[in-house]
Amino acid sequence: MSKGDQTRETILDEAVRLASQVGFTGLTIGQLADRTDLSKSGLFAHFRSKEQLQLQTLEHARRRFIDTTIRPALAVTRGEKRMRDLFDRWLVWESQMLPGGCIFVTGSIEFDDQPGPMRDALVADQRDWLETLATVARAGVEEGHFRPDIDPEQVAFELQSLMLGYHHSARLLGDDRALERARSAFEGVLERIHA
């Protein structure tokens, strides 16, 4: 990796951390310059606009999520083990990877009713994520771990709902039992779909 690529990675890592705390709309080139000890003009040359900064930050977060959550889980045995591993890695992403919690939850709240490239990118990312969850559920059916009559898209919806509930309970409400509740709810979903 070239020095320029390393600098860009460092900038985007910091942008993801910052956006998790202040949101994408609160993310500015000025704040990023302060956090990275780079000049505003140097950062502007990388991004050219606030929207490009937001989009590239989102794409960087997506790559990190795939590398830390999805890709390792896909290396686990198909079926229930893979679903458990994916859920566990997802909880780590949500609770430990970023100081402000899941950047995709933050972005979804900010841009859910704001048409434009950021919303389009977030929608595409979330649809891909739901399809990943549904695919893992389908593989569980194929492996005989889950009942053949389950609706994989419903399972994906329920797991996404669990994580959003966990985020809300842990981050906003400060519920000390949020993790325990999320794991219990996950076990309930598995029990319901188990073969």
**Structure confidence at residue 35 (pLDDT):** 87
**Structure confidence at residue 1 (pLDDT):** 67
Q: What is the pLDDT along the chain (195 residues), one digit of tens a residue?
A: 677 678 888 899 999 999 999 999 999 888 888 888 888 887 877 788 889 999 999 999 999 999 999 999 999 999 999 999 999 999 998 877 778 888 999 999 999 999 999 999 999 999 999 999 999 999 999 999 999 999 999 999 999 999 999 999 998 999 999 999 999 999 999 999 998
Dist. CA 38–CA 49, nearest whole Å: 16
List, in order, residues 6 or more apart from 15 with CB less than 8 Å away.
27, 32, 53, 56, 57, 60
**Structure confidence at residue 3 (pLDDT):** 75
Q: How many helical (H) and strand (E) elements, i.e. helices and strands, does the chain have?
A: 10, 0
CB 107 within 8 A of CB 122: yes
Dist. CA 27–CA 44, nearest whole Å: 13
Domains of the chain: 3-193 (1.10.357.10)
Whether the model clears a pTM of 0.85, i.e. scores above it, the answer is: yes
